[in-house]
Chain A
């Protein structure tokens, strides 16, 4: 793959898609114009020409796989023999699986909460200082970085050298400087989960901050002014006016980060690969997809448990969408 090949690939790939739309619409206009006296404007075929690629891709890449994954979870490792609920029984008795469920819960509790809290704090603080925009840019920057890149950054922060050596990881260096003992942070069972969560929080706080910033600006100045005139303290204003005003924003941030956290994979794979009690569902599933030639039954079962987590959010979204339609 050279740079020249890259250009050729891109041109071919993109023009294939473009030419479908151009050719299909051209053919449509030609044929409809020839065989039908009806107005071209309200052709019943046109919507389907517009929709066809999207529908086919959604069908092949999302709808079929979801039903297939559900089916495979009741079959053996090759997906050939029906085995009933044995994959589910296996999962509930598997220590790695239980560990993953527990860890996912831990992530779900800690990460969205911390991101929301920090995001709101930073957005509020940044509104009050003249260099707030600059501060927000710096805090937002990790959003652009990949989880793997972020993992390298933080693995370097947590790097451990035996006691007595110069520490090259900044966390241990600080601890040694204040007279503590260095630790291999990512290998300390239970607590290491939090060291991995820090990475996700470091990345996602920027998102929460940006959304809160936008929402804070939408709070009418008169309301705040009125409260101040009535003698309300800043703290009271924050809890009795700003927080209720932001309640929907908080829910949005919460669900967005929750969906992301449910699927957390890259960080765990890159930092520990699930060792030392840090396994999570997405990494366990990836493991079973390829372990011993791959076990589609167990992999699918694990995927379904991830899916289970997003179903409440899905229903909530759907209801909100319906309300919007009726409005």
Chain B
């Protein structure tokens, strides 16, 4: 008994470690996308919920804002721009010793004036003589910054980096590329399972072969054909219709294969009964098979939708990179070069590209898994 519970403990322990390793990278991405961009660049995301110290160089107000009070000249202001969440830890008045004083404290400047800085960044600078400086005096600060999460990065990428547009483009590619092969595949699958015609087995054997053909085999010839069509009609070779058909072609063998397995597994008696009643194949398909196939459509459709949504290669080859056509994955890939050091933009963009798949996954997980298992068990 004791041996068994130790084994149980090990199971818990190892699984916990594996889950932890699996989740940490995505978690880091999510946290980073919600952080302030300056903080993302300087500290690890795991410090996001900790207070951080940053060094800042700021300037006091110009001498023009001074006023006289009881015969003393005064300048007041706030070095932290009244940001209520930050606070000053140390400050200095020379670059040699930027952490010379602890806030709050009173410092005597070289010219005899007195500088009094408080923790919240507000200061009072007094002098017997009138201030004459044109530029504000430089002050070196060590600032304590509290953790702060913001949606600013999402606004930035969606509005100003064209990701909102790409999001719609991705939808425009993915939705028809999911529905069209399902319709075409369902009719073909029905014919292959319940109709008799010449060459049926040969066609199905060919489809089994095509299941595993890498799409790399198709890219060059189809691109050439598209270019020729484009040249002939004087239009762009890259279009939404072109990519819908390409995705349909690449996804069709698996769709037919899975739907045929499903339709063939439906009870034969039901089909016979409809035949006796005089229904044509078209009527049987529309009135009996289609309603029964909804769960299968859901599984296979989700699989295809995620495949198309996540695809990069087909989009790179068959769609333009202009803003009105570029899809999320393609844009994300561009950004990896463009903003290679701006992790707040990259993490946020990656998360935007993941929202739809994650939503589909979490809400329709059962169908998704069913489709995947069927797809690989047979494919």
* A, B from the same assembly: yes
| In contact, B280 and A41 (Cβ under 8 angstroms) | yes
| In contact, B210 and A126 (Cβ under 8 angstroms) | no
Q: Select one of B40, B209, B248 contacting A57, CB under 8 A.
A: B248
**What is the interface size of chain B, counting residues whose CB is below 8 A from a CB of the partner?**
120
| In contact, B358 and A125 (Cβ under 8 angstroms) | no
List which B193-214 residues lie within 8 A (CB) of chain A.
195-197, 200-201, 203-214
Instruction: Tell yes or no: A106 within 8 A of B by CB.
Output: no
Known: A51-B188, A202-B22. A173 touches B46 (CB 8 A): yes
A-B contact count (CB 8 A): 342
* A129 CB contacts on chain B under 8 angstroms: 8, 11-12, 15
Other than the given A43-B280, A266-B312, 8 more pairs (CB < 8 A) read A17-B183, A62-B213, A128-B7, A146-B309, A148-B329, A166-B42, A169-B44, A266-B313
Interface hit among B90-98, B128-136, B369-377: B369-377
CB distance from A288 to the nearest CB of B (A): 9
Q: Select one of B190, B201, B221, B275 contacting A72, CB under 8 A.
A: B221
Known: A1-B169, A135-B15, A269-B312. A314 touches B180 (CB 8 A): no
Residue picked from B187, B206, B325, B358, most chain A C-beta under 10 Å: B187
Instruction: Tell yes or no: A109 within 8 A of B by CB.
Output: no
| In contact, A265 and B217 (Cβ under 8 angstroms) | no
* A10 CB contacts on chain B under 8 angstroms: 172, 175-176, 179
Task: Find the A residue at minimum CB distance from B40.
Answer: A168
| In contact, A156 and B347 (Cβ under 8 angstroms) | yes
Residue picked from B24, B43, B219, most chain A C-beta under 10 Å: B219
Residue picked from A25, A149, A214, A234, most chain B C-beta under 10 Å: A149
Interface hit among A181-189, A219-227, A302-310: A302-310
Task: Identify the 6 closest CB pairs spanning chains A and B, nearest first.
Answer: A61-B249, A146-B310, A54-B188, A144-B361, A68-B221, A47-B197
Task: Find the B residue at minimum CB distance from A311.
Answer: B212
| In contact, A157 and B23 (Cβ under 8 angstroms) | no
| In contact, B310 and A154 (Cβ under 8 angstroms) | no
Q: A27-47 CB contact bits vs B (8 Å, 1 = yes)?
A: 011000000000011011011
Known: A1-B168, A263-B214, A303-B220. A58 touches B343 (CB 8 A): no
A304 to B219, CA, bound (A): 12
Q: Select one of A50, A66, A144, A207 contacting B217, CB under 8 A.
A: A66
Q: A265-305 CB contact bits vs B (8 Å, 1 = yes)?
A: 11001100000000000100110010000001001101110
Interface hit among A82-90, A93-101, A239-247, A317-325: A317-325
A58 to B28, CA, bound (A): 43
* B22 CB contacts on chain A under 8 angstroms: 138-139, 141-142, 202
Chain B at the A interface: mostly helix, strand, loop or mixed? helix
Instruction: Tell yes or no: B73 within 8 A of A by CB.
Output: no
* A259 CB contacts on chain B under 8 angstroms: 212, 214, 379
Instruction: Tell yes or no: B141 within 8 A of A by CB.
Output: no
Instruction: Tell yes or no: B252 within 8 A of A by CB.
Output: yes
* A141 CB contacts on chain B under 8 angstroms: 22, 26, 358, 361
Task: Find the A residue at minimum CB distance from B219.
Answer: A289
* B171 CB contacts on chain A under 8 angstroms: 6
List which B224-252 residues lie within 8 A (CB) of chain A.
224-225, 240-241, 244-246, 248-250, 252
| In contact, B354 and A54 (Cβ under 8 angstroms) | no
